[in-house]
Amino acid sequence: MNQLTQQQTSEAIQYNRDRSYPEATWRAVQQAVGADVDGKPGPNTARQIAQFQRDNRLSVDGKLGRNTLSALGVDPDSGQPTAPRAEGSDPAIDSVSPQPVQPSPVAQPAEPGMAPITADKVPAGFRMVRSGKGLSRYSDQRLDRTLLHIREHGLIDLSDEDIDTLQRIANIETSGTIQGINTWDSAVVSIGFMQWTLQHGKIQEWIGRAPAAFARYGIELDPDNKYTWKHSQEVAIKGVADKSVLRWNGWAQRFYDVGLDEEAIAAEVGLAKLFLGRALQGLKSRLQKKHDVGSDGYDEFMRHYDASLAIRGIFQASFNNLPAGSTRGVALALELSSPGDSTDRFLEHFRRGIRQSFGEWNYDQRGKNLTTKTLEGARF
């Protein structure tokens, strides 16, 4: 039986379309699972993928994630055959699986150090995306596995609750993995499990916390020079006058590799903890200034925030994505709720508020993702 519910099928179709796999990949997958071969991720394909997942003891959701691709033995970029994942081996992230995980070593770059700047414009393992505007690549290592391993070795001081929150954020930003890079938009470079951006100075702040780690990969700040965007200026990278150069070849490889370095990840965790606190401070200020919600309203939200990992995850992921939309979602949830409401009931109000708020910004799909993908936390 390969039946998915109508909602599961719709979610699988949307997820599969969002992956932006080429037609050749879809044709190879469809042929492998016995679906109608048309190169498009429709309902029949989702149902047949679900049957394949069930037959191979994978998480059954109809979504073509990394684990399913690995089990199929299909290369996501070309549709060509690869070596299928052996049964019982450690799977990369797919979508949602109820199986607990144990700490495992971070997948360090095969050859730590500086990738040559003269490397191919599109390095091995990267994809050119958005009609050739830039590159994209995501690691296969779940965030929770990585942070549990690093914590076990005493490199970070992080609670289970914080690991859970960061996993929920990563579900939005990097499909749940420890590292991802995107170089196709105005930010020029976005990396890490919270997708820190060059444009807003967040990558620079990360480099400042672990200069030696970044220097091992040939990445250093140049305080005497700035990059200019329409509304801001940020510190440049040493030796790179034109920021657009950082989108390609060895520079993209360097930024990707450093995000897998344990010392750099430890610094990233420290920065992430700082931003979690900043988000709550920003919320309190924005509620007062933009929505006339005083400390009583903020305290009511915090009562539910402290009681629910899901509310915590949705808020932090949405604030990381769009602070104004997140704050508006909190304000709407407070309007919909009553004092004394259970946290479960407030969660439903909050999910509705986030969807409505992001819809007002014409980010309907983003609002849906923020209220669904964040419901799965860390696996301990």
Among the listed residues 79, 96, 101, the one whose alpha carbon sits nearest the alpha carbon of residue 12: 96
Label residue 375 exposed, middle or buried (CB < 10 Å: 0-12, 13-18, 19+): middle
What percent of the chain lies above the pLDDT cut of 90?
68
Could you tell me the residue ranges of all domains in the chain?
6-72, 127-264, 293-375
Longest CA span, the chain: 64
Judge whether residue 114 has pLDDT over 60: yes
For the whole prediction, is pTM greater than 0.85?
Answer: no
User: How confident is the model at residue 12, as a pLDDT?
Assistant: 87
Angle, helices 160-173 vs 262-291, to 10°: value is 80
Output phi, psi for 361, to 5 deg: -95, 5
Mean pLDDT of the region 146-150: 95
285-324 pLDDT tens trace: 999 999 999 999 999 999 999 999 999 999 999 999 999 9
Judge whether residue 123 has pLDDT over 80: yes
CATH number for the domain whose boundaries are 6-72: 1.10.101
**99 or 48: whose pLDDT is higher?**
48
Judge whether residue 100 has pLDDT over 50: no
User: How confident is the model at residue 88, as a pLDDT?
Assistant: 35
Among the listed residues 25, 41, 247, the one whose alpha carbon sits nearest the alpha carbon of residue 133: 247
pLDDT confidence band for 108 (50 / 70 / 90): low
Mean pLDDT of the region 163-187: 96
**248 or 16: whose pLDDT is higher?**
248
User: How confident is the model at residue 109, as a pLDDT?
Assistant: 52
Judge whether residue 65 has pLDDT over 90: no
Average pLDDT, the chain: 88
Transcribe 44-91 into DSSP letters: HHHHHHHHHHHHTT---SS---HHHHHHHTB-TTT--B-PPPPTTS-P
Sign of CA dihedral 119, 124, 128, 134: negative
pLDDT confidence band for 98 (50 / 70 / 90): very low
Reported residue count of the chain is 380
User: How confident is the model at residue 327, as a pLDDT?
Assistant: 98
Mean pLDDT of the region 184-206: 97
pLDDT confidence band for 91 (50 / 70 / 90): very low
Mean pLDDT of the region 167-186: 96
